[in-house]
Amino acid sequence: MFHAETLALGLQYTYPMNDARNNKATETQAYSALRIAQIHAETTTKPMKSSAVHCAQEAERFFNEGRFGFAHEWAKESLRYSVGVFHPDFAKV
């Protein structure tokens, strides 16, 4: 969900790093989320493509460091930018 949409709906936006502290994603879950995020980040035509790509890159960096909770949250953030929270692939992660 874009920040403007979040504000318009009156929801509180949390930075991915805040959620990652409580995320106990496994390596498999993080890898699956990362792959889905990378695919959508590269193929999206939405105006926030650069943000989606950046978040996917951060997710990959955290995955490579073995920080799977952080990787999972950054992948979800990438999907928020590339496809939105109502997309079926966002529900998968």
Q: What is the pLDDT along the chain (93 residues), one digit of tens a residue?
A: 444 544 444 444 455 555 555 578 899 999 999 999 999 999 998 889 999 999 999 999 999 999 999 999 999 999 999 999 999 999 998
The radius of gyration computed from the CA coordinates of the chain, to the nearest angstrom, equals: 12
Query: Domain map of the chain by residue range?
Result: 17-92
| First-to-last C-alpha distance (Å) of the chain | 14
pLDDT at 65 (0 to 100): 93
pTM summary value: 0.76
